[in-house]
Structure 1
Amino acid sequence: MKNNKWLLLMALTLVLSMFLAACGGSKDEEKPADGDDKDKDAATEEPEEKQHAKDEEGEPDAEQVLYLAESAAIPSVDSSIVEDQVGFNVLNNINEGLYRLNQENIAEPAMAAEEAEVSEDGLTYTFKLRDAMRADETPVTADDFVYAWQRAIDPATGSPYGPFMMSGVVKNATAISEEKMKVSELGVKAVDEKTFEVTLERPVPYFLSLMSFGTFYPLKEEFVTSKADAYATNSDSLLSNGPFVLTNWDGTSDSWTYVKNEHYWDAENVKLNEIHVNVVKDSATAVKLYQDGKLDRAGVSGDLAMQYRDDEEAVIQPETSVFYFKFNQERDGKETPLANENIRKAIAKSFEKEDMADVVLANGSLPANFLVPTNFTFDENEKDFRELSGDHLEYNVEEAQDHWKKGLEELGVESLDLEILGGDTELSKKMDEYFKSQLEGNLEGLTISLKEVPFSVRLDLDGNQDYDIQVSGWGPDFQDPISFLDLFVTDGTNNLMSYSNPEYDKLIEDSKGELALKPKERYEAFAKAEKILLDEDAAIAPIYQRGLIFLHKPHFKGLVDHPFGADYSYKWAYISGK
């Protein structure tokens, strides 16, 4: 599956010049209700076989109503504002962009009626829109895309992803985000009602796969402006153009419903009539609901993961999300102890990752000595990037203690009190306790306090850089190392920890420019950048690459999970043999 996606990107590279702009879907550290958070082979052989055997048998032959759980409430469903995985999952199922990831995870035309026309220099894309309607029976037009993209790049909107996804990609996006040009000067144009034209700063070989990402979805200006500040704050203030419509969501509720959108252009291929979702934060509750027939799919973790791993209804799903400690070097305008390189290296090398993956998580997750995940992106010879870049910041107590001693001496102190910011779910708390035990046990003089908060609160604390160490994670939105590595450039919108290294910045910038048409040299630059970020600077400390174990009812078929972008599409799901 992943090799197919790589071949698609390589084919695009032959047509276009090579430029890569980073984006990603920020993820919570676990998904205990729909799944949560080991060796590569264990995560990719028998488990995938086990999963796909469930999906493609039978025809819809029962009531097409599905019952699912999510790990957190919805922070936002405004496509210009969403920055979390729950929000992107919702958007992916109620809306649709020019392209959509299909069942093979290849971007294919969606609101676009056909493949885009690309200019010879690779800078201009022309999209012909299909005759598609929203749930209110109004047509989707080129103006809807112009408005949505301009709104996302407008500094007044405060979009976390607009500038991140468009800067250096769409013409004038960077200058607009820096308030040096007007929003109207963004390189997008409605040629006519059904023709949308995009002009790029530089050729972007995977640009079409970006078109499936939530930030680029169309918005009806009249509807958005009429709702004003109430837009997207509840299900009545939303307008869908995708397979489902969101209902029964008041903006703060821990439950919501997807209802089939009868006006969706491809409604005949949508089999489910309703999907009922409840927020379930702990695995034990999710499993009990599953066993009682109240959930069709439930994530299991920790002791339950060990217990249910070999269950006949268990599915192990490898993922491309990587989790790590973010070390905040500046808080409240003052430099923190984590600005000290030796302190960061000490912490990064002082906790046992295999035990974390095998015992605490126990769900197919891999210990991570890397940022760019394994079995995700491949070079022109189909060689995994991980083989090129190798391992970094491996567990080593002796080295950790040496760094710790040096760091304390450099700071002129004998001890440190630091806080770990994490989630408030069952598994998050278990992980945090493990970290506290490992770090305090291996680094004399370190005291760790734990701050465990809901995901939406953690997003706010992260945005304000109001933390010391944060358990954070990232899932890619397209298949390229830069989807991860661009996160940590100086002043990047997702940096939010005051890390800066000019050499690192130059390597990332070169990958977008002079090395763009040199795949071998470009990947070598990525490998060097990852080494700087981890081995040399220990800007972050990798923990694990997530695997998930689910209990999945045999009658629930056709679910499509995505290795980048939103987690799931329910468009092709159905109930059969119940």
Structure 2
Amino acid sequence: MRKNRVLLGGLALTLSVVLTACASANGKSSDSSSSSSTDKISLMQDTDLLSLDNSNYADLTMWNVLENSMEGLYRQDSSNKVAPGMAESVVKPTNNGKTYTFHLRPNAKWSNGDAVTATDFVKSWQRSVSAKSKSGYNYIFSGIKNADQISNGKMAPTQLGAKAVNAHTLQVNLEHPMPYFSKMMILPAFFPQDTKVVQKYGSKYGTNSNRVVSDGPFKVTGWTGTNDNWKLLRNPHYYDQKAVHLKEIDMQVVKDANTAHNLFAKGQLDDATISGVTAQGLQKNKDLRHVQKAGTYYVRLNNKAGKPFNNQKLRQAVSLAVDRNHLTKDVLADGSKPAYTYVAQGLATDPTTGKDFATEMTPTETHNVAKAKQLWSQGLKEANLKGTVNLTLVGDDDTVTKNVAQYLQGTLQQNLGNVKVNMQNLPTKTVSNKEAGGQFDFDQTLWLADFGDPENFFSILTKDNPQNYAHYEDPQFNAAMKDATTSNAANTGAYWKDMRTAQSRLNATMPVVPLYSMVESHLVNPKLKGIEYHPVGENDYTRAYLEK
């Protein structure tokens, strides 16, 4: 998922804000026990809640709310492994890896008492894969039989390869084996919807908390569709009552990192997300917790013919000129870690080696200014570029993105020579339009994993992917990805060899330059335990509790 940079980017802060943040950097804070009782906690979201309909909307706030109120076929456990959710067990595919048969829990119910049925999954998926879906996530169903044709408006949603065999048996048929299919089932995009409730409210489904019901541990209440605070109350019909300790989760929108810090210090938040200057000033706070996410911030180089970065050596030079340790330690200074591969660290373990995929695929050479200068000079000659090369670097207009852009501007102009980097920091919507239109030489962006497999990263760089804004086209990379999703999909050894080949090609051809890994900075009430901070997916508070 391409997340807006502003989700982590610090907002422009006044001097008083900076002083407030630095004043608490000594590790001392006021009482951070938010709740007056041990059965409720207070959390924040940094953007408005705009919908609860996962078929027609998708952003981080909505998914955070759904993650803690709804449940799909599977959920993630505390070890980040796929575990049974609405399905009784994690199933193995049949039909050479192309058919999954899920048996739903017979005692699973919605918060209004309705039974959770296979039809609730089928109808929900049909709404979400439809060409009329407004979530932008119908592509995630690709690989399920007929999904692509449905998303393109060439087939009716009822032709999707998902059917209710009976009330509690769901069968899914794929067009080809998908080794990562089970991991995808934790996504809110695949959550069920109570068919009766959807039929009752139609286009108004999910527009407020009264027009939706939940099958997870909590149900959403008090959201009018426009207000900035709401509650998650315990769902008395949830099948696993023993696993749930809280009775209530209060949520409020807090868009400013310094405000979040102040609310935490006053005991009004049990978990506050901070960023930017505020995070920099609180790195020694005793309640600070860094949460590694499977996301990579990177620079995308426009490979299109006629653009300077159509030349491979110029792309390689940019990567070697960047000192990622200096960037993360001295420029960001917020706990971020260097990234050397497009695939994020912590995303997936290569089962054939037992190693973290990103770690095992780290290039042997990551920073070499002398070699960068040499490659830059050679590339300019090959591309027949003379004099000073003017490059446009596009990025969002938040403070952190601007700081990184300034670093890149100075580093490249100093280390490469014969280049002038012009920064364009613009509103997110404008940036998105420029990216889609190819109106950039290079741009700053983030890819946050939807599911725990390298394919989720690589797929958007394949030749025909609509999000391949860099116009990257490498025959070896495309061949590896095609084999991985067809002939080698059911062969673990061959599949992961294809994944390694794909990352090796990116390391060599450098269409994207990884900069740093996504890290969330949380101030957490020390009494709050049991939070499941997943590298992939949203943070799970459904099993959390407050120590007495």
TM-score range, shorter chain: 0.7 to 0.9
Q: Does 1:187 align with 2:161?
A: yes
Please say if residues 39 and 545 of structure 2, whose CA atoms lie closer than 8 Å, have aligned partners that are also in contact: yes
Aligned to 2:540: 569
Corresponding position of 2:329: 358
CA distance in 2, matches of 1:361, 1:562: 23
Partner of 1:95: 70
Which residue in 1 is equivalent to 2:80?
Answer: 105
Between 1:255-264 and 1:135-144, the stretch displaced more is 255-264
Question: What letter corresponds to residue 167 of structure 2 in structure 1?
Answer: E
Select the residue among 358, 363, 372 that pairs with 1:391.
363
Residue 407 of structure 1, CA deviation = 4.2
1 CA distance for matches of 2:522 and 2:292? 11
Question: 1:225-244, aligned counterparts within 5 Å?
Answer: 226-244=200-218
Using a 3 Å threshold, how does the CA distance of structure 1 residues 467 and 140 change in structure 2: closer, same or farther? farther
CA–CA distance in structure 2, aligned partners of residues 412 and 361 of structure 1: 34
Instruction: Give yes or no for contact 1:491–1:498 (8 Å, CA) kept in 2.
Output: no
Cα deviations across residues 255-278 of structure 1 (Å, max 9, x unaligned)? Answer: 443333333333453333333333
| Partner Cα distance (1:147, 1:534) in 2 | 42
1:33/1:69 contact within 8 Å kept: no
User: Which amino acid in the other structure matches residue 125 of structure 1?
Assistant: Y
Tell me the distance in 1 between the aligned counterparts of 2:6 and 2:243.
Answer: 31
Deviations 1:191-225 (A, max 9, x none): 22222111222333443332221111112345435
Q: Determine which of 534, 543, 551 is the counterpart of 2:515.
A: 543
Q: Do residues 134 (structure 1) and 134 (structure 2) align?
A: no
Whether contact under 8 Å (2:295, 2:447) holds in the other structure is yes
Please list the CA deviations of residues 171-197 of structure 1 after superposition, one character each: whole Å capped at 9, or x if unmatched.
222343344444322211112222211
Structure 2 Cα separation of the partners of residues 177 and 65 of structure 1: 41
Q: Quick one: structure 1 residues 515 and 129, their matched pair in 2 at CA, closer, same or farther if it must change by over 3 Å?
A: closer
Q: 1:561 corresponds to which letter in structure 2? A: Y
Q: Sort the Cα spacing of 1:474 and 1:511 in 2 relative to 1 into closer, same or farther, 3 A.
A: same
> How far has the Cα of 1:575 moved from its partner?
2.1
Stretch deviating more after TM superposition (567-576 or 280-289): 280-289
Is the alpha carbon distance of 1:546 and 1:522 closer, same or farther for their aligned partners in structure 2, counting shifts above 3 Å?
Answer: same
Partners of 2:440 and 2:210 lie apart in 1 by 35
1:56-455 alignment runs, 5 A limit: 62-74=37-49, 76-116=51-91, 118-119=93-94, 121-130=96-105, 131-157=107-133, 159-163=135-139, 165-168=140-143, 170-224=144-198, 226-249=200-223, 251=225, 254-301=228-275, 305=279, 307-328=281-302, 337-375=308-346, 376-386=348-358, 388-391=360-363, 394-404=366-376, 406-407=379-380, 410=384, 414-422=388-396, 424=398, 426-442=399-415, 443-453=417-427
* Cα separation, partners in 2 of 1:466 and 1:144, compared to 1, 3 Å: farther
Residues 341 and 306 of structure 1: is their aligned pair in 2 closer, same or farther, counting only changes over 3 Å?
same
C-alpha distance in structure 1 between counterparts of 2:220 and 2:397, whole Å:
26
Contact persistence 1:123–1:202 (CA under 8 A)? yes
Which residue of the partner structure matches residue 454 of structure 2? 481
Change (3 A) 1:242 1:517: closer
| d(CA) in 1 for partners of 2:40, 2:246 | 6
CA distance in 2, matches of 1:410, 1:338: 12
Q: SS of the counterpart of 2:131?
A: coil
- List gaps (5 residues or longer) in structure 2: 11-34
Alpha-carbon separation, structure 1, partners of 2:385 and 2:126: 47
Report the TM-score, using the length of structure 1 for normalisation.
0.79
Is 2:55–2:124's contact at 8 Å kept on the other side of the alignment?
Answer: yes
SS at match of 1:531: helix
- 1:399 Cα deviation from its structure 2 partner: 4.2
Relative to structure 1, the CA distance from residue 445 to residue 496 in structure 2 (aligned partners, 3 Å threshold; closer, same or farther) is: closer
C-alpha change, 1:279 and 1:429, in structure 2 (3 Å) is farther
Q: Name the residue aligned to 1:9.
A: none
1:431 corresponds to which letter in structure 2? V
Whether contact under 8 Å (1:28, 1:84) holds in the other structure is no
What letter matches 2:411 in structure 1?
Q
Structure 2 SS opposite 1:560: coil
1:461 Cα deviation from its structure 2 partner: 6.1
Superposition pairs of residues 7-86 of structure 1, within 5 angstroms: 25-29=1-5, 32=8, 62-74=37-49, 76-86=51-61
The answer on whether the counterparts of 1:32 and 1:282 sit within 8 Å (CA) in structure 2 is no
Aligned to 1:557: 529
Q: Tell me the residue number matched to 2:29.
A: none
Shift of 1:329: 5.1
Structure 1 residue identity aligned to 2:112? D
Counterparts of 1:510 and 1:541 in 2: how far apart (Å)? 25
> SS at 1:277's partner residue?
strand
Cα distance in 2 for residues equivalent to 1:298 and 1:243: 22
Query: 2:178–2:489: 8 Å Cα contact kept in structure 1?
Result: no
Return the offset for 1:394: 2.7
Report the alpha carbon displacement of residue 420 of structure 1 after superposing the two structures with TM: 1.9
Question: Shift of the alpha carbon at 1:383?
Answer: 2.8
State the one-letter code of the partner of 1:453. P
Q: Aligned partner of 1:113: which letter? A: E
Instruction: Structure 1 unaligned segments of length 5 or more: list them.
Output: 1-24, 35-59
Identity of aligned residues (%): 30
Residue 94 of structure 1 aligns to a residue in which SS? coil
Choose 515-524 or 334-343, whichever is displaced more.
Answer: 334-343
Q: Which amino acid in the other structure matches residue 171 of structure 2?
A: E
Q: 1:145 to 1:469 in 2, by over 3 A?
A: same
Tell me the distance in 2 between the aligned counterparts of 1:139 and 1:418.
56
In the alignment, the residues of structure 2 paired with residue 87 and residue 423 of structure 1 have an alpha-carbon distance, to the nearest angstrom, of 23
- 1:414–1:226 CA distance, 2 compared to 1 (3 A): farther
Number of residue pairs matched by the alignment: 519
Deviation at 1:340, TM superposition (A): 4.8
Is the alpha carbon distance of 1:100 and 1:386 closer, same or farther for their aligned partners in structure 2, counting shifts above 3 Å? closer
Aligned partner of 1:3 in structure 2 is none
Partner of 2:495: 522
Residues 179 and 489 of structure 2 are in contact (CA less than 8 Å); yes or no, is this contact kept in structure 1?
no
Displacement of 1:544 in angstroms is 0.9
- Aligned partners of 2:532 and 2:540 also within 8 Å: yes
Worse-superposed segment, 520-529 or 399-408: 399-408
Correspondent of 1:492 among 440, 450, 465: 465
Superposition RMSD on alpha carbons, in Å?
Answer: 3.4
Q: Distance in 1 between matches of 2:234 and 2:309?
A: 49
Structure 1 residue 382: Cα displacement:
1.1
Name the CA shift for 1:435/1:73 in 2 (closer, same or farther; >3 Å). Answer: farther
